[in-house]
């Protein structure tokens, strides 16, 4: 198979060094200006360039990873699709992202007014990932999230009232007020968490992907083509459950997409200081599945990748690992004083959105 999305899944020309703390992020469309010293890590931090990537999986599995070979070798695969959308689709994406942003801003307001308690982790800045992926799903598809879960639930169709009521601990919340911010759940919408422990949702998502395959292949239900999206962060990719589940999903060719929202931070730990190879997408081919890197600040690019990998999972071709390079505009949680954030950053992105 081939990915038509390779125009934005291509590797950076100098893969690891570009992600040092002193350089702009990889994609041109980020258009960072000025030194991103806000990343907070020592300027002396440097990584050795890695040798060119070689696919080291058995021939029988190579079809799954051929696109990755192209990506890794810097070859452009001819795009069969494009980033064009209809006006209605554009409005749907815009509305969903604005809903996510305003919802989270309102949470912050309520939290600082003392109306909301416990840990509350906001999603500001990462909306293009949730919208780009989840708006392509059918109702019966499943979403598994983390503690940064409000916007994933909203994108999947849980009403803002049900999510906000949950945050206020009300019986009208989507978990009857008993779950709170980190435990969004809706059976009706197939949102199955909301997990406070990092990596906890990945095996749950892997398990959720299994019935679809079982029903189609064992019970011979032709229409069983549900897919599962597992969202989690860059820091979580250093946990064992991530690797165990990549292995199982590839082995069983499960209809799951592992969506890494790489916002460069795990609480206050820079991604570059915490992982041996910062390019997370490369871990896919190590397990025999494609790994794709995409600009997670661009909803159309995310959507194009999402379209392809969701269709791939739906037709039974197995899992994909997608690394979305994004950024959170607020602190890790509302209890975080935001001291690692660059106050100019949010304005910068808003300006880009308006000027493009
Ligand atoms: C098993 C476990 N260990 C440690 C923690 C504490 N913890 C909460 S969030 C977090 C960082 C996660 O970072 P990342 O995966 O990048 O997600 P992000 O917060 O950036 O969305 C850690 C270590 C936890 N919740 N669960
Ligand atoms: Mg992170």
Task: Tell whether 33 is covered by a domain.
Answer: no
Closest CA to 320 of 194, 209, 200: 209
pLDDT tens, N- to C-terminus, the chain (356 residues): 343 433 333 333 333 333 333 333 343 333 333 333 333 332 333 333 333 333 233 333 333 333 333 443 443 333 445 678 999 999 999 999 999 999 999 999 999 999 888 899 999 999 999 999 999 999 999 999 999 999 999 999 999 999 999 999 999 999 999 999 999 999 999 999 999 999 999 999 999 999 999 999 999 999 999 999 999 999 999 999 999 999 999 999 999 999 999 999 999 999 999 999 999 999 999 999 999 999 999 999 999 999 999 999 999 999 999 999 999 999 999 998 766 666 665 554 544 444 43
The structure tokens listed for 149 are 């879960």
Closest CA to 201 of 161, 154, 158, 149: 149
Residues contacting ligand 1 via CB (< 6 Å) = 148, 196-198, 232-236, 263, 265-267, 332
Tell how strand 320-325 and strand 228-233 pair up.
unpaired
- CA of 237, closest atom in ligand 1: 15
Asked if residues 261 and 233 have their Cβ atoms less than 8 Å apart, the reply is yes
Q: According to the model, what pLDDT value does residue 281 have?
A: 97
Q: According to the model, what pLDDT value does residue 84 have?
A: 83
Q: According to the model, what pLDDT value does residue 341 have?
A: 66
Residue nearest to atom 17 of ligand 1 (CA): 233
Tell how strand 191-192 and strand 269-270 pair up.
unpaired
Q: Which of 104, 120, 146, 235 to mutate to test the pocket of ligand 1 (most atoms within 8 A of CB)?
A: 235
- CA of 332, closest atom in ligand 1: 19
Give the residue numbers spanning the domain of 349. 84-355
Q: What angle do CA 122, 266, 53 make, to 5 degrees?
A: 120
Residue nearest to atom 12 of ligand 1 (CA): 266
Number of domains in the chain: 1
Task: Tell whether 235 is covered by a domain.
Answer: yes
Tell how strand 228-233 and strand 256-262 pair up.
parallel
Task: Tell whether 249 is covered by a domain.
Answer: yes
Task: Tell whether 52 is covered by a domain.
Answer: no
Q: According to the model, what pLDDT value does residue 337 have?
A: 72
Task: Tell whether 310 is covered by a domain.
Answer: yes
Q: How far is the CA of 279 from the centre of ligand 1 (A)?
A: 18
Task: Tell whether 3 is covered by a domain.
Answer: no
CATH number at residue 175: 3.40.50.970
Q: According to the model, what pLDDT value does residue 327 have?
A: 94
Task: Tell whether 77 is covered by a domain.
Answer: no
Task: Tell whether 44 is covered by a domain.
Answer: no
Q: Which of 104, 147, 198 to mutate to test the pocket of ligand 1 (most atoms within 8 A of CB)?
A: 198
Residue nearest to atom 8 of ligand 1 (CA): 198
Q: How far is the CA of 199 from the centre of ligand 1 (A)?
A: 8
Q: According to the model, what pLDDT value does residue 336 have?
A: 83
């Amino acid at each position: 198979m081939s990915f038509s999305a390779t125009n934005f899944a291509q590797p950076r020309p100098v893969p690891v060094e570009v992600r040092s703390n002193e350089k702009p992020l990889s994609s041109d469309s980020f258009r960072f200006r000025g030194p991103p010293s806000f990343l907070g890590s020592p300027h002396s931090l440097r990584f050795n360039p890695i040798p060119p990537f070689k696919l080291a999986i058995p021939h029988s599995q190579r079809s799954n990873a051929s696109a990755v070979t192209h990506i890794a070798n810097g070859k452009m695969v001819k795009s069969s699709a494009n980033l064009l959308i209809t006006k209605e689709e554009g409005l749907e994406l815009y509305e969903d992202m604005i809903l996510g942003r305003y919802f989270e801003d309102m949470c912050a307001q309520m939290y600082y007014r003392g109306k909301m308690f416990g840990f509350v982790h906001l999603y500001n800045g990462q909306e293009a990932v949730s919208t780009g992926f989840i708006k392509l799903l059918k109702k019966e598809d499943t979403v598994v999230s983390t503690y940064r879960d409000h916007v994933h639930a909203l994108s999947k169709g849980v009403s803002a009232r049900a999510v906000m009521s949950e945050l206020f601990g009300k019986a009208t919340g989507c978990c009857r007020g008993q779950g709170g911010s980190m435990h969004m759940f809706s059976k009706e919408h197939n949102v199955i968490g909301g997990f406070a422990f990092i990596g906890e949702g990945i095996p749950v998502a892997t398990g959720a992907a299994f019935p679809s395959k079982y029903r189609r292949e064992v019970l011979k239900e032709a229409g069983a083509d549900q897919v599962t999206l597992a969202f989690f962060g860059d820091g979580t990719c250093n946990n064992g459950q991530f690797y165990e589940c990549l292995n199982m999903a590839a082995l069983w060719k499960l209809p799951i997409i592992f969506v890494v929202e790489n916002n460069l931070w795990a609480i206050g730990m820079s991604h570059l200081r915490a992982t041996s190879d910062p390019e997370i997408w490369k871990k896919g081919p190590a397990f025999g599945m494609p790994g794709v890197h995409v600009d997670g600040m661009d909803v159309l690019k995310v959507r194009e990748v999402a379209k392809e990998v969701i269709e791939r999972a739906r037709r039974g071709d197995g899992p994909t690992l997608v690394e979305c390079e994004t950024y959170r505009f607020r602190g890790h949680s509302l209890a975080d004083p935001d001291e690692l954030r660059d106050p100019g950053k949010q304005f910068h992105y808003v300006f880009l959105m308006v000027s493009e």
